[in-house]
């Protein structure tokens, strides 16, 4: 039996002892020198060094480690938050001892999880499990665990405010309005339903292979910091879309771990993994070389863990923690699933003009036209004829100066006014996590550089369904890119508002 139980923060009282002691420990860790491995800054920089840190090169090898877009995404983050949990627990023990508090709260404390997919979809964005838990939205907290004493600064709180690009890294913050009691994303963006339907943990990259993988692409022995071609279904939805929705530093790979909600988000992502495995006895974790990849991590004493931990250490059945539930909020409510693929060499049939700034408040229409005079391209535009080799829609050059505070939905040729994710025209999602200019080169992650994010979706079945239902029109072909959580028009028009954009939209055949 596991020694610790990670509980659901979405159903806790605001200052449940688990959240109260988490806040106290975060505050203590924030006081420690950034060179101390048990400090808040050091632990966050293991995930990514925030832009504007102005650190002298070289950046230590134990920082900027987070692997995204490869099959170490899940095991590395599991190990990372497990040692973080031990550091928090030891910090709680120290605080309680200094204040003479008994019984020792650290004896049972475990990192809680943010169960954002717990509540079903609703018609209005009222308070649901998809809102930040209240303890993260209140600027002050009780000074005593029983709620007595004067109120003090709450270390779990970050301001949600509009920040100009040049000031983005001056202090941690969230996207404007995200500390309200409204959900940061809607149910479809928060749901792991689509990932939970898949049976394969990882597939190799390369070729136009459908990407129905749960745990991101097989990257062999390499642990890429950010491979734009490799994210699997879970890493995009809900992982990346939740980062997008919270916005601010949480919306940037290099700053996300400085937001205290990051750790509860990743506890929930970790929870989906055993839930996925238990649904089918044929589902398996990878074998070598995945099992033996070494990680650089630090324990509660501030020492680097030796021997270096590997995924093998974290897929054992005798881990010292369990989750309050592996069922609630793990994709019980069906949503429309996109058919994400990895890109490869293919022939372009239709394309957009370059450069499209996306609205934060309303849909952006991107017209498409034939890439050449071929009969195949003309036939597709005129009647939606699908080549035997299928059709792939790719959104390229996805980037923003600062995190836009929302993911985007992509629709193919919808009638004006259509925009619900369960309609016939939905293609997939666009995420800006890892594609912001404020991150610059990110010391190896590459955010803000290169060509931006890129997402590809197999639209073969979608086009055929539109044909069969008589919904394919001969009007000019368009793709509509819609903010999942539209911003108020006043904010969208502000010169300090984020400026998300895409460079190209293309439809190709293999």
Pairing of strands 340-341, 501-502: unpaired
Residue 483, CA distances (Å) to 224, 336, 498 in order: 29, 17, 13
436 neighbors 401 (Cβ within 8 angstroms): yes
What span, in angstroms and rounded, lies between the C-alpha atoms of 180 and 327?
Answer: 28
Number of CB atoms found within 10 A of residue 345's CB: 8
Between 287 and 442, the higher pLDDT residue: 287
Residue 239 in this model has a pLDDT that exceeds 90:
yes
Residue 188 in this model has a pLDDT that exceeds 80:
yes
List pLDDT tens digits, range 399-438. Answer: 999 999 999 999 998 887 666 656 889 999 999 999 998 8
Q: How confident is the model at residue 446 (pLDDT cuts 50, 70, 90)?
A: very low
Average pLDDT on 373-391 reads: 82
Q: How many residues are there in the chain?
A: 510
The whole-number pLDDT of residue 365 equals 94
454 neighbors 395 (Cβ within 8 angstroms): yes
Which three-class secondary structure state does DSSP give residue 423?
coil
What span, in angstroms and rounded, lies between the C-alpha atoms of 342 and 217?
Answer: 9
Q: What are phi and psi of 323, to 5 degrees?
A: -105, 145
What span, in angstroms and rounded, lies between the C-alpha atoms of 479 and 426?
Answer: 10
Residue 449 in this model has a pLDDT that exceeds 50:
no
The token pair that represents 355 in the structure block: 């450069």
The whole-number pLDDT of residue 440 equals 62
Average pLDDT on 211-237 reads: 82
Average pLDDT on 448-465 reads: 82
SS (H, E, C) 451-503: CCEEEEEECHHHHHHHHHCCCCCCCCCEEEEEECCCCCHHHHCCCCCCCCEEC
Annotated domain spans of the chain: 4-323, 340-509
Peptide bond into 307 cis (omega under 30): yes
Q: Which residues, 6 or more positions from 331, have their beta carbon under 8 angstroms from its beta carbon?
A: 117, 191, 192, 193, 194, 195, 196, 197
pTM assigned to the model: 0.94
| Average pLDDT score, the chain | 90
The token pair that represents 393 in the structure block: 């829609």
What span, in angstroms and rounded, lies between the C-alpha atoms of 113 and 91?
Answer: 19
Of 84, 85, 52, 87, the C-alpha closest to 65 is: 84
The token pair that represents 124 in the structure block: 């209005």
List pLDDT tens digits, range 252-299. Answer: 999 999 999 999 999 999 999 999 999 999 999 999 999 999 999 999
Q: What angle do CA 31, 37, 41 make, to 5 degrees?
A: 50
The whole-number pLDDT of residue 124 equals 58
- What CATH architecture is 4-323? Orthogonal Bundle (1.10)
């Amino acid at each position: 039996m596991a020694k610790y139980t990670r509980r659901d923060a979405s159903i806790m009282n605001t200052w449940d002892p688990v959240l109260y002691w988490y806040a106290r420990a975060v505050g203590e860790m924030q006081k420690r020198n950034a060179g101390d491995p048990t400090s808040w800054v050091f632990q966050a920089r293991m995930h990514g060094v925030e832009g504007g840190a102005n650190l002298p090169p070289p950046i230590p090898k134990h920082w900027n480690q987070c692997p995204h877009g490869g099959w170490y995404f899940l095991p590395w983050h599991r190990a990372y938050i497990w040692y973080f949990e031990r550091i928090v627990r030891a910090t709680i023990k120290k605080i309680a001892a200094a204040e003479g508090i008994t019984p020792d709260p650290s004896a049972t404390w475990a990192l809680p999880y943010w169960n954002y997919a717990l509540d079903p979809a609703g018609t209005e964005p009222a308070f649901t499990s998809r809102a930040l838990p209240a303890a993260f939205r209140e600027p002050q907290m009780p000074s005593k665990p029983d709620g007595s004493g004067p109120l003090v600064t709450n270390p779990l709180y970050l301001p949600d405010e509009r920040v100009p690009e040049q000031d983005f890294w001056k202090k941690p913050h969230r996207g404007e309005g995200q500390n309200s009691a409204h959900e940061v994303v809607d149910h479809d963006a928060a749901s792991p339903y689509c990932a939970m339907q898949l049976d394969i943990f990882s597939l190799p990259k390369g070729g136009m292979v459908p990407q129905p993988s749960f745990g991101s692409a097989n990257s062999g022995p390499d642990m890429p910091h950010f491979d734009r071609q490799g994210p699997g279904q879970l890493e995009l939805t809900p992982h990346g879309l939740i980062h997008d929705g919270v916005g601010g530093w949480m919306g940037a790979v290099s700053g996300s771990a400085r937001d205290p909600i990051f750790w509860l988000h990743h506890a929930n992502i970790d929870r989906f993994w055993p839930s996925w495995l238990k649904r089918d006895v044929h589902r398996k974790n990878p074998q070598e070389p995945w099992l033996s990849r070494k990680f650089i991590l630090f324990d509660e004493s501030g020492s680097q863990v030796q021997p270096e931990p590997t995924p093998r250490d974290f897929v054992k059945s005798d881990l010292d923690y369990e989750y309050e539930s592996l069922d609630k909020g793990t994709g019980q409510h069906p949503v429309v699933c996109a058919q994400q693929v990895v890109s490869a060499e293919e022939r372009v049939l239709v394309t957009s003009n370059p450069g499209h700034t996306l609205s934060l408040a309303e849909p952006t229409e991107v017209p498409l036209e034939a890439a050449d005079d071929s009969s195949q391209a003309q036939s597709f535009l005129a009647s939606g004829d699908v080549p035997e080799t299928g059709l792939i829609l790719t959104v390229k050059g996805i980037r923003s100066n600062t995190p836009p505070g929302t993911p985007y939905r992509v629709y193919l040729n919808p009638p004006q006014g259509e925009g619900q994710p369960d309609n016939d025209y939905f293609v997939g999602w666009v995420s800006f996590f890892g594609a912001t200019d404020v991150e610059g080169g990110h010391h190896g992650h590459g955010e803000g550089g290169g060509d931006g994010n890129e997402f590809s979706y197999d639209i073969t079945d979608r086009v055929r369904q539109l044909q069969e239902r008589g919904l394919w029109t001969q009007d000019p072909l368009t793709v509509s890119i819609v903010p999942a959580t539209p911003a108020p028009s006043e904010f969208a028009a502000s010169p300090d508002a984020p400026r998300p954009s895409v460079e190209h939209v293309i439809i190709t055949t293999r």
